[in-house]
Chains A and B, each alone.
Chain A
Amino acid sequence: MIQNQRGVEGPRDLDHGTTPPDGRPIAEQPKWRRDFPIDWAQDEYVSRRELVKFIVLTSAALVVGQFWIVFKSTFSRRPALSTAAPIARVDELSIGGAKTFTYPEGSTPRLLVKTGANSFVAYDQQCTHLLCPVVPAFELGRLHCPCHNGWFDLETGRPVAGPPQRALPRVRVEVRAGTVYATGVEESTA
């Protein structure tokens, strides 16, 4: 004799559970009844099976995301900037001094830092962590993001401490006849 789910001995077996009202076995029942079983044990099986289906759907969504990145990287290449634009005079800044500018016109703010008598570096001013503006810490040879204490190397723009994982996009600069020109933007490299 087999016990049913309430522990009472009865004719029902554990595999089939409660007999549906029409008396036919579970396998012959319509789909809606198989998907909404009477017994807890059957219901547990159905819920696990539905969870597997949902997770496979999530898997498909992640593949869509991956191919969206492929699409973006294939068709959304940014045009290379080739036009030079004046952004500061050499004598305008003292060594260690900084100035914000936009390049090209309408871009996010960039930061120009004078590192020597005739040498400059320039980066995007937005931190690659959560877009807070970075400020120069010239005496440390770094750029600092005060929002989450992120640090970047002043010479390369690479992250050296804190949460940022990617380097700051670099703006190429040239000095011509006492004027600093921005000549292009290098996208951030990991």
Chain B
Amino acid sequence: MIRRLRMVRAQRMTIVNAMLAFVVLIVILQLWLLTATMNAYLGGDTGTVVPAALGSLACLGLNAGLLWYLFGLD
């Protein structure tokens, strides 16, 4: 008999809380990146625009990965 191993609610709450902290930190980083890039762009410096966009995209990938893991918990 195959029994699916499920985490108890308390364990899932701990994980989701930790994940929430990570995701919030990453979004704050992205927000800082956006404001810094906008400031540089308006100041005439376009050299940082593409690397910043790729960095932000990587942050989204990390967030999406965490969300994917969270879906896997249910």
Contacts and interface: CB of A to CB of B under 8 A. Distances in A.
Contact of A52 (B19, B45, B53): B19
A52 B70 contact: yes
A154 to B, nearest CB: 19
Nearest to A58: B27
Q: Is the interface of B mostly helix, strand, loop or mixed?
A: helix
Interface of A: 14-15, 27, 34, 41-42, 44-45, 48-49, 51-53, 55-56, 58-60, 62-63, 65-67, 69-70, 72-73, 165-167, 187-190
Given A66-B53, A166-B39, A59 B63 contact: yes
A48 B27 contact: no
Q: Is the interface of A mostly helix, strand, loop or mixed?
A: helix
Interface string B9-23: 110110011011001
Contacts, number: 107
B43 A189 contact: yes
Interface range for B: 35 or more
A189 B42 CA distance: 8
Contacts of A59: 23, 26-27, 30, 59-60, 63
Given A52-B67, A70-B49, A63 B44 contact: no
Contacts of A58: 27
A62 B46 CA distance: 18
Interface of B: 6, 8-10, 12-13, 16-17, 19-20, 23-24, 26-27, 30-31, 33-34, 37-46, 49-50, 52-53, 56-57, 59-60, 63-64, 66-67, 70, 74
A45 B19 contact: no
Of all A-B residue pairs in the complex, the 4 with the closest CB atoms, nearest first, are A190-B43, A66-B53, A62-B30, A187-B44
